[in-house]
């Protein structure tokens, strides 16, 4: 059989260089940071209740329902799971590099996380309430303490952390029948707000930047509490990322055939789990009892791993070399692209820009995502031709080392 006609599983598994391992990680990170926008666009452009309950606001028929269905099934929590996992991989990778040089990995790491926390807080309170950088920085400090543990320890501990978070998610639904009428009413107002509350939220986001400040601070502080609810999950994912790095998952650990089998099984099982709740919600009209569902919590882990297996496999092939290079460039500028999405989307939807908050339905949001992807891919490819780091990567690096870092490529 000619080489170009061979199946992926028949491709030879040659030793992967350290350089190619890093490129593989960049490619997966690039896909993750773009994929995150599929869900974040809802928070940028619609009331917060519409993220979990699509009936809370806007048209939910035809194409809009289809967009919700497929983004929930294939994207919700999946790309953020990959992003958090790779954050843990990055911690292990940078610590190993620093220690190989004979330097202090501890000091460098905590400086990096402290600077990232400052960037995150700035992002949170000055631009968008949905920031995760501050939270990742804090959890990343904790994750660093177990970086030298064995993969077995990391994976077992991660499973129990994920289980603890799943139990915490289960509690609100379990406690619902025992809550007072007042507490249930308060939850219902968050799940299905009144027209008055909806209009108030839309008006707040359509205000100017300074006029939004009080609302942004309140939303940001509330979001910090909500994100902290997932601390066990994020720490567990970071530990999984460390374990994957240690077992050379991004290199030669698994054969092509093994990756295909793992991806197929995880994808099929994950989709089956998620669809049980998704189809139930559609049939029952998204009842309050479906708040914080377990199905997507666990299903997203399986689908995220299926995506990662598929991407590692894709990285080994000679297919679509230009696309792989583009995704790697997006991944190298992950911080810049993540923050860039906020700048673009807040300009489109918030009052200090075009003020379109509440006006885009889900199909229009998807078209906006595709346009932003094109912009960020073009920008990333152009930028790396001339500069060593992305703008925010350079700022983060310079602040970490306490001096201006070289920017231009020589």
Determine the Cα–Cα distance for residues 38 and 365; give it in Å rounded to an integer: 8
Q: For residue 44, how many other CB atoms are within 10 A of its CB?
A: 23
pLDDT at position 17 is: 57
In a domain, 347, yes or no: yes
Name the phi and psi angles at 254, rounded to 5.
-115, 145
Domain with 47 in it: 3-401
Closest to 301 (Cα-Cα) out of 271, 264, 279? 271
Determine the Cα–Cα distance for residues 264 and 322; give it in Å rounded to an integer: 26
User: For the packed helices 105-126 and 133-144, what is the interaxial angle rounded to 10 degrees?
Assistant: 160
Instruction: Identify the sign of the CA torsion 137, 294, 40, 189.
Output: negative
pLDDT at position 2 is: 40
In a domain, 407, yes or no: no
Looking up tokens 């290079």 gives 325
Number of domain units in the chain: 1
In a domain, 201, yes or no: yes
Digitized pLDDT (tens) for each residue of the chain, 410 residues in all: 343 444 454 444 444 556 677 899 999 999 999 999 999 999 999 999 999 999 999 999 999 999 999 999 999 999 999 999 999 999 999 998 888 887 778 999 999 999 999 999 999 999 999 999 999 999 999 999 999 999 999 999 999 999 999 998 888 777 788 888 888 888 888 899 999 999 999 999 999 999 999 988 998 888 887 777 789 999 999 999 999 999 999 998 999 999 999 999 999 999 999 999 999 999 999 998 877 778 999 999 999 999 999 999 999 998 999 999 999 999 999 999 999 999 999 999 999 999 999 999 999 999 999 999 999 999 999 999 999 999 999 999 999 989 999 988 87
pLDDT at position 181 is: 83
Tokens representing 163? 């289980």
- The SS3 call for residue 246 is helix
Please tell me the pTM assigned to this model: 0.92
In a domain, 409, yes or no: no
User: For the packed helices 231-246 and 78-100, what is the interaxial angle rounded to 10 degrees?
Assistant: 50
Contact 303, 270 (CB under 8 A): yes
In a domain, 81, yes or no: yes
204-208 long-range contacts, CB within 8 A, separation 24+: 205/349, 205/350, 205/351, 205/357, 205/358, 206/350, 206/351, 206/355, 206/357, 206/358, 207/351, 208/351, 208/352
In a domain, 410, yes or no: no
Alpha-carbon dihedral 142, 143, 148, 150, rounded to 10 degrees: 130
Farthest CA pair distance, the chain? 70
pLDDT at position 99 is: 84
In a domain, 159, yes or no: yes
In a domain, 408, yes or no: no
Alpha helices in 207-333 (DSSP H): 213-228, 231-246, 256-284, 294-316, 321-332
Contact 368, 407 (CB under 8 A): no
Alpha-carbon dihedral 130, 134, 136, 140, rounded to 10 degrees: -170
């Amino acid at each position: 059989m000619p080489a170009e006609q061979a199946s992926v599983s028949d491709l030879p598994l040659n030793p992967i260089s350290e350089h190619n391992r890093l490129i593989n990680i960049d490619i997966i990170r690039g896909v993750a940071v773009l994929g995150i926008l599929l869900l974040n666009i809802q928070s940028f452009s619609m009331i917060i209740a519409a993220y979990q309950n699509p009936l809370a606001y806007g048209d939910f028929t035809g194409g809009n329902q289809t967009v919700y269905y497929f983004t929930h099934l294939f994207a919700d929590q999946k790309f953020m799971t990959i992003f958090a996992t790779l954050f843990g991989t990055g911690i292990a990778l940078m610590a190993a590099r620093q220690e190989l040089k004979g330097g202090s990995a501890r000091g460098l790491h905590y400086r990096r996380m402290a600077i990232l926390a400052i960037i995150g807080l700035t992002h949170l309170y000055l631009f968008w309430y949905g920031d995760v950088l501050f939270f990742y920085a804090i959890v990343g400090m904790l994750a660093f303490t177990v970086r030298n543990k064995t993969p077995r320890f990391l994976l077992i501990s991660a499973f129990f952390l994920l289980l603890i978070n799943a139990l915490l998610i289960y509690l609100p639904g379990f406690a619902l029948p025992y809550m007072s009428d007042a507490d249930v009413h308060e939850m219902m107002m968050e799940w299905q707000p009144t027209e008055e509350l909806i209009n108030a939220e839309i008006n707040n986001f359509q205000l100017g930047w300074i006029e939004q400040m009080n609302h942004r601070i309140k939303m940001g502080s509330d979001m910090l509490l909500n994100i902290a609810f997932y601390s066990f999950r994020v720490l567990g994912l970071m530990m999984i990322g460390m374990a994957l790095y240690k077992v050379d998952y991004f290199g030669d650990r698994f054969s092509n055939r093994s990756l295909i089998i793992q991806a197929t099984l995880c994808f099929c099982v994950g989709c089956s789990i998620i669809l049980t709740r998704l189809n139930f919600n559609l049939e029952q009209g998204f009842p309050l009892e479906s708040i914080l569902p377990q199905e997507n919590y666990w299903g997203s882990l399986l689908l995220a791993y299926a995506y990662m297996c598929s991407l590692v496999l894709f990285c080994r092939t000679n297919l679509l070399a230009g696309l792989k290079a583009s995704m790697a460039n997006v991944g190298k500028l992950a911080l810049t692209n993540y923050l860039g999405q906020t700048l673009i989307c807040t300009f489109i939807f918030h009052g200090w820009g075009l003020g379109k908050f509440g006006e885009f339905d889900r199909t229009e949001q998807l078209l906006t995502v595709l346009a932003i992807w094109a912009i960020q891919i073009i920008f990333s490819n152009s930028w790396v031709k001339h500069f060593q780091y992305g703008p925010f990567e350079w700022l983060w690096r310079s602040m970490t080392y306490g001096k201006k870092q070289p920017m231009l490529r020589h």
